A and B are shown apart, each in its own frame.
Chain A
Amino acid sequence: MRNEFAEAARHEVANSQLRANIRNATHTIRAKREEAVAEVPDWEQLREAGRRIKERTMRNLDRHLEQLERSVTAAGGVVHWATEAADANRIVGDLIVGAGAREAVKVKSLATDEIGLNRALAARGIEARETDLAELIVQLGEDRPSHILVPAIHRNRGEIRELFRRTLPGNEQLTDDPAELAEAARRFLREKFLSAKVGVSGANFAVAETGTICILESEGNGRMCTTLPEVLITVMGIEKVLPRFADLEVMLQLLPRSSTAERMNPYTSLWTGVTPEDGPREFHLVLLDGGRTKVLGDADGRAALHCIRCSACLNVCPVYERTGGHAYESTYPGPIGAILTPQLTGFTQGNSLPWASSLCGACYEVCPVKIDIPSILIHLRSRINREVDGYGGGGERLAMGLLARAFARPGRYERAQRFGRWLSRPLTREGWISRRLPGALGRWTDVRDLPAPSAETFREWWAQRR
């Protein structure tokens, strides 16, 4: 315990210099998102179209899933259905073993984090190699990501040079120039890509009509993972389906600007089954329920499934900023987490989250598919009060009481936040949240995931402002 505390403390001290960078990045991306959105004259029409597309899709989800299955199959792919995380993990593991491989290159994804795929594969002796730069730095250092925006920010360039010199063969002469360090990583992972037999990805969207899968990214590791291996396995939640190819013209305008504040992210890949002489020879699509049908069953809550994981709602949420995110109990953080986590888990987790909101409406304002998060929060509060033992009106008192106590005693509040943040670190690796917010930083969140707890609490931020 003493050592763990010392480690946490060391991190805090080491981070003080970096906080300025991180704060900068966070605030820059908010401003940049606004700019990116402001230059689109029909933004509101796009949002409304996005909302309606998603709503219609969810209300007819069975038809679209069946259509997707037919299209993917017709294009030479194989569709698998997984009711729960364990099913999906077993299917993916069997496919990798079946391909005669013990290793897979992976582009980080929300769905695979949600189901704890890497851990499940490791238990079968299969290594899932994450392939973006920050991930590599963290993995080589046998380390944990320090921040969602920049998971390797606790490592300065000198440390990264030492790490690479020590762990990547042939880099004894490496300098600490970031471009040269990136080059070393490029060479190392290039070998992995060129020899990989199996690639694993998530999906941002899947088009039922054509059987086309779509992922968005920045670095090119997504292209590598989905193009070079002989076998490609994509794991996606059933809510990611879109009926028509034309629906993408709306989503690809909404997502990059909302997420990374870019007009378009560097790379978007779309593929349909298998293509002769181009890319993998085998394609498997794993369709995951994992609680989504529970969300679907609540007509007033199902809009939570419309989320395209841009993370804009997190960045504007005053409660998220103040609580540092740990209060979201390691599932989805922020406003989307507050409406999704309790529903996905059938009210076995995160039941106090719907109270962790001031209902200020900022999340609704920025949401590219206009999810009315505040209304769903209110709806869930009443459901939880009605349906969950021990709540019956007490939920609000309980959650508010905790928040109030924390806010009332500054010292306690800060300690609680730091502890929570520290606690959350390992979870951010394998849980729902494990991804950083890209953007101003040239990174891509979503086939990946949502950001985890902010490494900078509101009070720390405030202290620095003054």
Chain B
Amino acid sequence: MSSRELILGRVRAALADVADDEPASWIYDRDADEHSRYARAGSRDPEALAALFADRCGEYRATVTRAERAGLGPAIAAACARHGASSLVVPTDLPEAWRAPGVEWREDHPSLDVHALSGFDGALTGCAVAIALTGTIVLDAGEAQGRRALTLLPDLHICVIGEEQIVEGVPEAFERLAPAARSGRPLTFISGPSATSDIELKRVEGVHGPRRLEIVIAG
């Protein structure tokens, strides 16, 4: 007997007490009652959401700025300047308006070698959704985001978030992300720069992931 058959057989034998017609999973819309009906949607307006999101990101020591859509170029240039970044790697479908003058742009096409990616000062991307309550941005390899390595190897990640992409809580984010997950796209949840406290309990930003996270909210 294969290991597969053996394990599945053991599982079935172990579950002899469970009726065959029992629903196999717990589904919110069908099964939630007053004990388990957690909040699935928030009530804040867009302005309050943006403020909350900025606040929570600040606590993670990400830098958050806001800009008019028309003024994104200068906002991004300012973010670069704060970190002395002069070369950015970007996904091929990066909006033209984000390309600030005075920065060296390189599209990740054809896919750059990981050593090359590692050599850039920073990466600039958009995101799929942002979660206000937790200060999280989520990338789903969709529009203006590129592949995962792009936002992992350079030391600075500049992420542009449209105000309309900010949701209040985790469940709303999952609702928006479901189509991407179903189509097999990878998701990365980012809540502040990577961090460690391994040396004498001193907090140090960034061991392996980008040490600097700049978030620009476009409204």
Taking Cβ atoms with an 8 Å cutoff, the residues of A that contact B are 21, 25, 41-42, 44-46, 48-49, 52-53, 55-57, 59-66, 75, 80-83, 87, 131-134, 137, 150-153, 156-157, 160, 178-179, 181-182, 185-186, 189-190, 193-194, 207, 210-212, 218-221, 223-224, 227-228, 238, 243-250, 252-253, 262-273, 275, 277-279, 287, 289, 293-294, 296-297, 299, 302, 441-443
Contacts and interface: CB of A to CB of B under 8 A. Distances in A.
Interface string B4-40: 1011101111110110001111111001100111110
Contacts of B38: 42, 45-46, 49, 250, 253
Given A152-B199, A153-B201, A221 B207 contact: yes
Contacts of A247: 25-26
Nearest to B185: A275
Interface string B48-75: 0000000010001000000000000000
Interface of B: prevailing SS: loop
B194 A150 contact: no
A75 B184 CA distance: 7
B58 to A, nearest CB: 13
Nearest to B8: A62
B202 interface: yes
A80 B2 CA distance: 11
Nearest to A91: B3
A320 to B, nearest CB: 22
A65 B11 contact: yes
A178 B133 contact: no
A224 B196 contact: no
B77 interface: no
Interface residues of B, number: 80
A253 B170 CA distance: 7
B156 interface: no
A296 B202 CA distance: 43
User: What are the 3 tightest A-B residue pairs by CB atom distance, in nearest-first order?
Assistant: A220-B209, A220-B208, A243-B25
Q: By CB atoms of chain B within 10 A, which of A60, A131, A151 has the most?
A: A60
Contacts of A41: 39
Nearest to A56: B26
B97 interface: no
B18 A156 contact: no
Contacts of A48: 35-36
